[in-house]
């Protein structure tokens, strides 16, 4: 199970991707914008928001690095814009690790089914480190 990295930006994910593609001689093949996805509970989006990146990834030096823009209807805090991602096919391990990191921490998204995964959730551990868990 690899440990991946997730980077959030305020309207700059596309620029960051372009820089990292150049620096690391790689190409991002999977850009998904907010306009391409129906988000339950999201407010109506203007055209600029629809063009923002909801998810993209690049493999850099053997590590998967994922990118997203944080639209205005979501909170963005510089310094809190990096999370570690556990992407595993072991549902029991995923649930156990999620619950252990939630002890003394804060669940920001309970483990639930999403349009991309049967089980996905987010937690901030007691040290303030953000984690995403994805059942692949």
Break the chain into its structural domains and give their ranges: 9-69, 77-136
Residue recorded with tokens 């930006």 = 9
pLDDT digit string (tens) for the chain, length 136 residues? 678 999 999 999 999 999 899 988 999 999 999 999 877 777 889 999 999 999 999 998 789 999 999 999 888 888 778 899 989 899 999 999 999 999 999 999 999 999 999 999 999 988 788 899 999 9
Q: Hey, what are 62's tokens?
A: 């053997």
String of DSSP letters for 27-70:
-----EEGGGS--TTPPP--HHHHTSEEEEEEEETTEEEEEEE-
| Closest among 103, 105, 62, 61 to 83, alpha carbons compared | 105
Half-sphere exposure (CA, 13 Å, Cβ side) for 35?
7
CATH of domain 77-136: 3.30.720.110
For the chain, the residue count is 136
């Amino acid at each position: 199970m690899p440990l991946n990295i997730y980077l959030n930006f305020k309207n700059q994910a596309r620029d960051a991707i372009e820089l990292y593609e150049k620096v690391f001689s790689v190409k991002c093949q999977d850009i998904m914008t907010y306009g391409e996805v129906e988000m339950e509970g999201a407010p109506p989006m203007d055209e600029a928001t629809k063009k923002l990146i909801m998810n993209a990834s690049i493999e850099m030096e053997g590590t998967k690095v994922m990118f997203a823009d944080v639209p205005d209807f979501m909170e963005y805090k510089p310094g809190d814009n990096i999370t570690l991602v556990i992407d595993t096919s072991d549902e029991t391990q995923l649930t156990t690790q999620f619950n252990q990191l939630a002890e003394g921490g804060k669940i920001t998204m309970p483990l639930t089914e999403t349009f991309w995964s049967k089980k996905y959730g987010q937690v901030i551990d007691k040290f303030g480190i953000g984690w995403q868990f994805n059942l692949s």
